[in-house]
Structure 1
């Protein structure tokens, strides 16, 4: 167990290094941020001074190592666009993203888990076909297109819900639904497969042959054992949340880190983009690491090696 934890921690560090390095290199290929911040009419002297003040005149390897060293010390640098600490900017935006992610995650499990369970219990019936059809529909519709449709129908045509902002609970409904729709296919598929696998086990047939009520068999044996495979998708859900939040927050003008990273990329704000990617990558790999460890703890049959 201890060796597995240390090995996973090593992979976690390598994953963070890989993500940050790729992001760093891709950003450097997009052009000179000084031209965007100072304008196309800025003199060469002003651009050189700007690059010197922000460390952009140093070699790329030196810039990358400096970013990593400061990030490990809790210093994410300063934004070129906002001229303030990236850490303080993230502190302002992260709560909004957490609200949206939490609401969409709850909505995903409230809809996806019962739908997957019912589809498994009613296998090859109309309910099962409808559930699988919904999964295919959710996979085929881009979230930005769904967001636009919901805005036009509920916001413009009916006028029931606001089309943007984050001032009240009503502003949360549409973006949370769109973001949960992205995660719904995976939740339904995994839940259905897990329940079908458990139902086919011999101890379920034994419990039914003893005359146990179907509800007791479902709660005590089926759902309890199917919960562990469902737990494993939590790490994947976090990655889907982060990727889906970029589009969803942009369409609905939600003031989170998803919308922030889009504006930072357009402004070529290298330090801010690197900081956002670093924080998101850290969240994804840490959640996946904790899920793996928790899975081994909850199921003694699994040997982590």
Structure 2
């Protein structure tokens, strides 16, 4: 009777805790988006040059003073800085991302075309990195001292390799020397292999180091010893217990990892001539295309916030000991 009363007392708190968790995530996401929009607004305006010239096609357009003045008036660039800032925040809050200075089309249209290729690239990179990290973690904990040393060395080296160097090596080996894969990204699955591996390999080295330590601890833990005492094979202990515990830190780091892949996409998409947000962001910064830079940065930040929330939720589902807070 006392137990039932206690359970009834505790049960209303669970939805409340989940609601607080959701509100906390939503509030944190709004703050991140505001901070990104503010940093982009003031950061771009600190770059030398006149935004009106970017609107008119750049310094080489030889636009007249009257045309530049008209562009400033049309886009509100002749107003005080604080008026421009709050005006932009209001437009962003209402979903108006503006029109790209360089492309002369709505930023929302540009994002609708470029977001899917980048999300596919980052998503596949995260999946491949997870598979590589788990394989390295299993090899380093199950293959003896020599195999462990080799796997650990591969993890350390791969985590320190920069994307631009790795991409160059992969192109020289698999495209130029062997001719197995195209040197630039194409619409075929083969065109995705080198960009995905370039993104995934450094991340796999980092995740592998974290998973290896957790897996080694899990294999020496009391529940693993108890499973072996019940007659469980080493493969069974690995699949049913060790891999689950090794995946927990990887799940917790998946949000950060996805953000790292989005930043790495700037380099990878440029090297492999792949359309996407990263390559467009680099071009937009060069052209001082303020609306496009802001739109790409906000969409990337929004994707990062969502993935962070999903990774947090996945960690709570994978480990029942972590409850809503």
Q: Deviations over 1:233-256 (max 9, x none)?
A: 210111111011000000111011
SS at structure 1 position matched to 2:265? helix
Counterparts of 1:114 and 1:288 in 2: how far apart (Å)? 24
1:134-160 deviation line (CA, Å, top 9, x unaligned)? 122123321111112222333233333
Deviation per residue, 1:31-57 (Å, 9 max, x gap): 223224243532222111112222222
State the match for 1:72 in structure 2.
93
**Structure 1 alignment gaps of length 5 or more:** none
Within 1, Cα distance between the matches of 2:58 and 2:122?
Answer: 36
Moved more, 6-15 or 81-90: 6-15
Aligned residue in 1 for 2:81: 60
Query: Distance in 1 between the 2:177 and 2:237 partners?
Result: 47
Q: Does 1:86 align with 2:102?
A: no
What is the number of residues matched between the two proteins?
304
State the structure with more CA Rg: 2
Q: Distance in 1 between matches of 2:108 and 2:23?
A: 29
SS of the equivalent of 1:302 reads coil
CA separation of 1:151/1:294 partners in 2, compared to 1, >3 Å: closer, same or farther? closer
Aligned-residue Cα RMSD (Å) equals 1.9
- Residue of structure 1 in register with 2:27 after alignment: 10
Question: How far apart are the structure 2 equivalents of 1:142 and 1:84?
Answer: 34
Residue ranges of structure 2 left out of the alignment (5+ in a row): 1-16
Q: How far apart are residue 204 of structure 1 and its match? A: 1.0
Distance in 2 of aligned mates of 1:298 and 1:107: 20
How far the C-alpha of 1:165 sits from its partner, in A, is 3.6
- Counterpart selection for 1:21 from 38, 57, 63: 38
Between the aligned partners of 1:53 and 1:195, the Cα distance in structure 2 is 60
**SS across alignment from 1:42:** coil
Residue 161 of structure 1, CA deviation? 2.2
Tell me if the contact between 2:284 and 2:292 (Cα under 8 Å) persists in the aligned partners: yes
Q: Does 1:33 align with 2:51?
A: yes
Q: How far apart are 1:297 and its partner, in Å? A: 4.0
Q: Is 2:238 the counterpart of 1:218?
A: yes
Counterpart among 183, 196, 212 of residue 192 in structure 1:
212
Match of 2:66 in 1: 45
| Larger deviation, residues 19-28 vs 65-74 | 65-74
